A and B are shown apart, each in its own frame.
Chain A
Amino acid sequence: MPSICFYFQVHQPYRLKEYTFFDIGHSHHYFDDNKNKQVLDKVSERCYLPTNALMLELIKKHKGNFKISYSISGVALEQFATWRPDVLASFQALAATGCVEFISETYHHSLAYLFSKEEFVRQIEQYKALIKKYFKQEPKVFRNTELQYNNELAKFIEDLGYAGIICEGVDRNLAGRSPNFLYRAPNVSSIKSLLKNYQLSDDIAFRFSNRGWEEWPLTAEKFASWVHSMAGNAETINLFMDYETFGEHQWADTGIFEFMRYMPEHVMKHPDFGFKTPTETLESYEVKGIYDAHHMTSWADMERDLSAWIGNPMQDESIEKIYSLEKAVYASKNAEWIADWQKMLTSDHFYYMTTKFWSDGDVHKYFSPYESPYDAYIYYMNAFSDFSMRLKGEK
């Protein structure tokens, strides 16, 4: 019987403050505590708390038949622990139901796989410890930042002992096949790949409130009927999206909460359909084919690549420079420095430097706490300059 596999991404970076040239050598605090707390408060009220309450309600109502999974970045969890313990507690309550799985990622939501395999492994281990501490689980499935994925990564993750890996179902790699089955990379022995059904996922995450969309308004019944129409031609329908879809990207007045409240029961009206966690999905189905991803893909933008994170000179220089400090940072054995450095690896810093949406004419897609990508770069490089001076003992 076919099942829906929900995975929600929860992430909040430590945004850098407007750290100016004049702060270099004078202030060693790089992060904007006020702003970060403010954003966390806002998103907690609009999204995390009401959505967690709804998920808990659904799990109870469906008596164990409604299941979901999360990946909550380590930096987000740290910030919940510091500023919003109530939100952390509501996730812990969900974990305690037994219907919620936690998926592994890099602690700092970083691009480390591309720039330092050592740091990549370190962050995965760090994350594992954190999940154990808060949720008493050991993750068995991995997802990389922005669903970066290729064959080589699948193998790397298999070697770390994971049973499954999450990725985007990219058309060019699927070559006409359905994303609604389990696949595997050509170079692995057992790790299974879960492919996002971007059509149905994006119907909820992006198109839900779009009044220009021919399917608007999207009701729970309609969505369930689309799911049911796949009977016989699907085993797992993977709905992967940012958790902030609920209440933040799609505001409450769009009806997104009502949609979510009734969607599971409409799906389960068809006796063949149900919900599974990623690990249950892996255990329930066989691999249907080879999913061959030579090049790095992601779930981002039309290109499904990393062009919003790397590739312009500001992004390339700042990434190169921050990773160049790795050895010196760990040699210092200074826990505070290591923590600061790791926070500066979070992918969001580099996303804020993107200029690609100007050429697309798609500026509305650029979300940033700064006035321009140039500002993002300058504050980052200023903080970097101060940090590297401290590291070298110059200040």
Chain B
Amino acid sequence: MAREPQVLMFGWEFPPVISGGLGVACLGLCKALAPFAKLRMVIPKSVPNFSIPNIELVGLNSFTAEQLREMFRQDQWVDVSSLHYVAGGVHPYMRIGSDEFINEKFYEVFFEEVKPFDLDALYAGDVIRKVMEFARISVQYAMQQDFDVIHSHDWMTFLPGMILKQKTGKPLVLHVHSLEYDRAGEGSRNWVYELERRAMQLADRVIPVSRYTGSVCEKYYGIDPAKITPVHNGVEFVQRTVKKSPMKEKLVIFFGRITMQKGPEYFVEAARVVLAHHPDVKFVMAGSGDLYTPLIEKIADYRMGDKFYFTGFLNKKMLNELLAVADVYCMPSVSEPFGLSAVEAVQYGIPVIMSKTSGAGEVLNSALKIDFWDTHKMAQYIIACLDYPGIRHAVVDQANEDLKSITWENTAKKVMKVYEELLVNSF
């Protein structure tokens, strides 16, 4: 390309305001892209003393009422009535409300007087309303900027991407880190699903974080595979925490949200099988979520309470300490677009057992792969990792090979190639 492309990105999570892997991935990608593109990242909330070289971070929370009034002057007004048509749902949104309710919300958000953007928690309260407010202000802001390509990360930021694509004709790239299919299961056909589907149909290119997720876009959203370009995430190098295990037993761990998507109940069932044959093992489930208490009850029912520990939510430091003493990591996710935590476990030299429906498996030859429901096989792998030193060594050797290619530099190169293909006629 003759010059660096100007990329206008929209993100929801961004460090230090993060909830899970999305923010980590957006940061990793932005840092690696910065040398090759002029990046402007629009996010709900920026923090004054957090900045990254060569990236312009625009937090909507930083616009004052005065700035917003100026931005929304009548002669600058961006007509968003078409958005209503593009994104208005046709199916009821089970958890939020009916179709009319969504339409009403749209009307309220887009035609009332603009107020400074404020967000307490990323996913609490009326998320849909926040997503709409985000779209309204960020579109108004973006129309007054220069850019060559639009790049949105996940459904929360698909709306501004869609409107800008329609208004400007600039190419739209949608980065798919997670889908409603993953979070709510294959039966979900709610407003978010509908938004994802329409956005992907409109987009010039869809970048899922794995071939697995690409296949979900194709199969469950009917997206043309010709415009799906899977690009795996990278991972930052870690300095391993060193810690001695407090117990003599081997430790098998699970960490992540304790929700249906992550398959924690399969981990419990596998533990039960292992313990029946191999009583000198302990299990740790780290994380929180709606299945937390039901699973505690189940463990008690199985009389495994002395072998099975729940830690609740762990921060990064505590998580590293857990990884430092773990012997096996299990990730039996029902549907996992990537699964950064598996790569993190690999970085700690821990054998990883993961479901075949996890994107990271595509870059981890070293992982032992199972069908998420196959608790018997999971139990066998756990036992083999504990009993047979050969497999541990082989897995760790291979993991070191695997890690060489799981870099953000590789990710950025592939994303740049997507930009170049889309902009080939523009420069």
Write the residues of chain A forming the contact surface with B, with a CB cutoff of 8 angstroms.
20-22, 312-318, 353, 355, 358-359, 371-374, 377-378, 381-382
Contacts and interface: CB of A to CB of B under 8 A. Distances in A.
Nearest to B369: A372
14 contacts: A20-B376, A21-B379, A21-B384, A22-B277, A313-B389, A313-B391, A314-B390, A317-B390, A355-B398, A359-B401, A371-B369, A377-B390, A378-B384, A381-B391
A6 B126 CA distance: 78
Contact of A381 (B376, B381, B388, B401): B388
B55 interface: no
Contacts of A372: 368-369
Interface of B: 277, 365, 368-369, 376, 379-381, 383-384, 387-395, 397-398, 401
B221 to A, nearest CB: 29
A234 B398 CA distance: 45
A49 B387 CA distance: 44
A290 B104 CA distance: 91
B272 to A, nearest CB: 13
**Chain A CB within 10 A, most for which of B369, B383, B394, B401:** B394
Contacts, number: 66
Contact of A355 (B368, B380, B381, B394): B394
A27 to B, nearest CB: 15
Contacts of A20: 376, 380
Contacts of A314: 390-391, 393-394
B389 A21 contact: no
Contact of B397 (A313, A371, A374): A313
Contacts of B277: 21-22
B347 to A, nearest CB: 18
B394 A313 contact: yes
Given A312-B394, A377-B394, 6 more contacts: A355-B397, A355-B398, A373-B394, A374-B395, A378-B391, A381-B391
B365 A317 contact: no
Contacts of B369: 371-372
**Chain B CB within 10 A, most for which of A312, A315, A358, A378:** A378
B383 A374 contact: no
Nearest to A375: B368
Contacts of A355: 365, 394, 397-398
Contact of B384 (A312, A313, A373, A381): A381
**Chain A CB within 10 A, most for which of B383, B390, B398:** B390
A20 B390 CA distance: 17
A21 B380 contact: yes
A316 B395 CA distance: 14
B374 to A, nearest CB: 11
Nearest to A319: B390
B380 A313 contact: no
A313 B389 CA distance: 8
A324 to B, nearest CB: 14
Contacts of B398: 355, 358
Nearest to B353: A374
B397 A358 contact: no
Nearest to A355: B398
A160 B3 CA distance: 74
Contact of A378 (B381, B393, B397): B381
